[in-house]
Amino acid sequence: MTQGHDRPAATGPRELALRVNPIACEAHGVCIGLLPELIAADPWGYPIIRPGPVPLRLLSLARRAVTDCPTLALRLAEQPASPPRPDRRRARPER
Ligand code: SF4
């Protein structure tokens, strides 16, 4: 069995985020209609994607938005997992 030293050092948990190719997008709005929780329209109808990873509960809708995009402008991209939020209780100086 292969041990961890064979993996790239930067490999860790991955998250999926939506990305749009602004050249390919033709503002059809399919993705906006499918996933308003994560995608809004700008004044010209082009998608504005909320930054950050796709929440697990919205992943199937995000996949559908990707496959239903008529110009294949939308994709799900892997990104390194966000670092955990600091524990605020520990951030306070001790007395
Ligand atoms: S469905 Fe595709 S072409 Fe239409 S707005 Fe979304 S990314 Fe652009």
User: Mean pLDDT score of the chain, rounded to an integer?
Assistant: 84
What's the CA-to-centroid distance between 58 and ligand 1, angstroms?
17
What's the CA-to-centroid distance between 46 and ligand 1, angstroms?
7
- Could you tell me which residues come within 8 angstroms of residue 39 by beta carbon, excluding any fewer than 6 positions away? 18, 31, 32, 47, 48, 49, 50, 65
Question: pLDDT for 23-46, tens place per residue?
Answer: 999 999 999 999 999 999 999 999
Kindly state the percentage of the chain with pLDDT values over 90. 66
Which residue's CA lies nearest to atom 2 of ligand 1? 69
Question: pLDDT for 73-85, tens place per residue?
Answer: 999 999 888 776 6
Nearest-atom index, ligand 1, CA of 24: 3
Output the pTM of the full model: 0.75
